[in-house]
Structure 1
Amino acid sequence: MMNERDYRLALLIDADNVSPVYLDIIINEANKHGKITNARIYGDWSEERLKTWKSKAEKYSLTFIQQYANLSNKGNASDFTLVIDAMDLLYSGKVNAFCIVSSDSDFTKLIIRLKEDDMYLIGMGESKTPEVLVNSYERFYYIDQILEASEPKKERKDLNGKSLIPKKEIIIKDLKKIIDDNLEDDGWAYWSIVADQLRKKYPGFDPINYGSKLKALNFFKMFKDFEIKNEDKVAYIRIRQD
């Protein structure tokens, strides 16, 4: 399996759908997965509301792609140009991963199509992002949660809207099932296997979504439901025995 840092990444940002306050986070998280070889941002740059995007995006030398809103009846014409560019990049053979930044579920079919050609897919959006879009990616970042965790409470703004992040109780319930499905003869499950399956079921899972900066294993260790042990640098997990 290719190391995440080896990917040649196309970063495509839907400026009509995402606030510029997230740009530093977007770049930082995308860089963790490899080299950004194409970085494009889509919007109607004649509109006043996108001017704050321009000043921030120039800092990272993003390529501005103009799309006039009057070409679409739905109010977000950026979708069409972004989809066309994504397919052009796919056929160019110059990238093997995409990071698409938008909470718009209309991109779900594009993600599925790119996945058919074995592209590694990373998504970023706010907590309002529909589950169908989040689960289309290999990895999804709730950028409003990352921003909220990085700022003092007095400086935070309510950018979330309605949160569609799965409740903590649902994550714990499904984690228990994954553990049960992967138990070894000694009654313990390899954490690496469990974590991988949990990530596949919930691409957007991160303790930061629940107000914690801990790594996933230490996050679950806080709950009375689980027991953790380490042997020879290998971590194991099981449901706590009463």
Structure 2
Amino acid sequence: MAQEVEDLKFAVLIDADNVSSSKIESILDEVKRYGIPSIKRIYADWTKSHVTGWKEPLLTHAITPIQQYSYTVGKNSSDSALIIDAMDILHSQQVDGFTIVSSDSDFTRLAIRLRESGKMVIGVGEKKTPKPFIAACDKFIYIEILDKETATKPLPKEKIPVETVDTIGGKPIKPAGQAMQEYEPIGREMIDLLKASVNDVADEGGWAPLAAIGGLLNKRKPDFDPRVYGFSKLTPLFKSLDQHFDVEEKSTEKTKIKHVYIKIKEKPKASRKKPKNANMLH
């Protein structure tokens, strides 16, 4: 029998030079949505002053610090140590997947190699992360959307989004959930991706199950996440785009479990108006 998703074991490998210690709790909580972080290691030159803030989080979350001295000024030797450990863990067959916490493109080849070996790879980094590293992961999560401190602190008035406007017209889209974060607008490119995904998994009637849409979106765009656009789930995102999609929720009588289906809204056919002087024409 296939192993359940929640039983998957992950090795969480953190580049301390690329992430703040204040984000680690949110990152580990996110990993637990996919499985169990059974191996947790963090890499840095711990003799440096800029990593002193990690001491308490390491104890709190039982993360093993790996010391790696910088042999050359200006070079990050922690990258090499992380890559070597990842390959050792891979060959030991102790885990089902890896979480690489870094915004560094140097880990692109590592992510590709791990996936070639059949391991799931989750990347966690900032929005500045180069696209090749994002594309090399099965799933990529932006640290900014996990920042609990930002979610609880009100932004300056001019930065609070009153509404997020669909760039291809139609009614304004108001973000759901936390109204204090800055959200990306849902533009033409994203709506085209949503429509293509719905169309590819739809039945003959045009209806597509939400679960299948979500799976296809993650395969096509590893960094896709409704939270980037201000929505906690995929369902409210589609509901906000009611000028483009129809949403239908069904539940079975026995289980009461809701199943959500999406359909691309058909454009109304333009009616041909009869000319005012039509009766005068012969």
Would the TM-score normalized by the shorter structure come out above 0.5?
yes
The RMSD of aligned alpha carbons is 2.2
SS in 2 for 1:27: helix
Give the Cα separation in 1 of the matches to 2:125 and 2:102: 5
Shift of 1:112: 0.6
**Identity among equivalent pairs (%):** 37
| CA distance in structure 2 between the partners assigned to 1:154 and 1:178 by the alignment | 34
Residues 1:10 and 1:119: Cα distance change in structure 2 (over 3 Å): same
* 1:206 paired residue number: 225
**Structure 1, residues 26-85: CA drift from partner, whole Å, max 9, x if none?**
1111222222221100001010011012232221121111111224x6521111000000
Residue aligned with 1:123, SS? strand
- Tell me the SS of whatever aligns to 2:17: coil
- The answer to whether the 8 Å contact 1:12/1:99 transfers is yes
Once the two structures are TM-superposed, the CA of residue 98 in structure 1 deviates from its matched residue by: 0.7
Change in Cα spacing, 1:3 to 1:74, as seen in structure 2 (3 Å) is farther
1:167-219 superposed Cα distances (whole Å, 9 cap, x missing partner): 63222211111222333211222222222111111222112112233x11221
- Name the structure 1 match of 2:133: 133
Query: Any conservation in 2 of the 1:112–1:136 contact (CA below 8 Å)?
Result: yes
Distance 1:167 1:116 in 2: 34
Q: Given the alignment of the two structures, is residue 182 of structure 1 paired with residue 201 of structure 2, yes or no?
A: yes
- Higher-RCO chain (CA-CA 8 Å, sequence separation at least 6): 1
Matched, 1:8 2:20: no
1:57 aligns with 2:58: yes
Consecutive unaligned residues of structure 1, counting only runs of 5 or more, are 156-164
The structure whose Rg is larger is 2
Q: Name the structure 2 match of 1:234.
A: 259
3-state SS, counterpart of residue 147 of structure 2: helix
TM-score, with length taken from structure 2: 0.76
Given the two structures, how large is their TM-score scaled by the length of structure 1? 0.88
Distance 1:123 1:67 in 2: 22
Question: Which secondary structure state, in structure 2, belongs to the residue aligned with residue 70 of structure 1?
Answer: coil
Higher normalized helix content (fraction of residues): 1
Q: Which amino acid aligns with 1:209?
A: V
Give the Å deviation of 1:21.
Answer: 1.5
Following TM superposition, by how much is the alpha carbon of 1:126 offset from its aligned partner in structure 2, in angstroms? 1.0
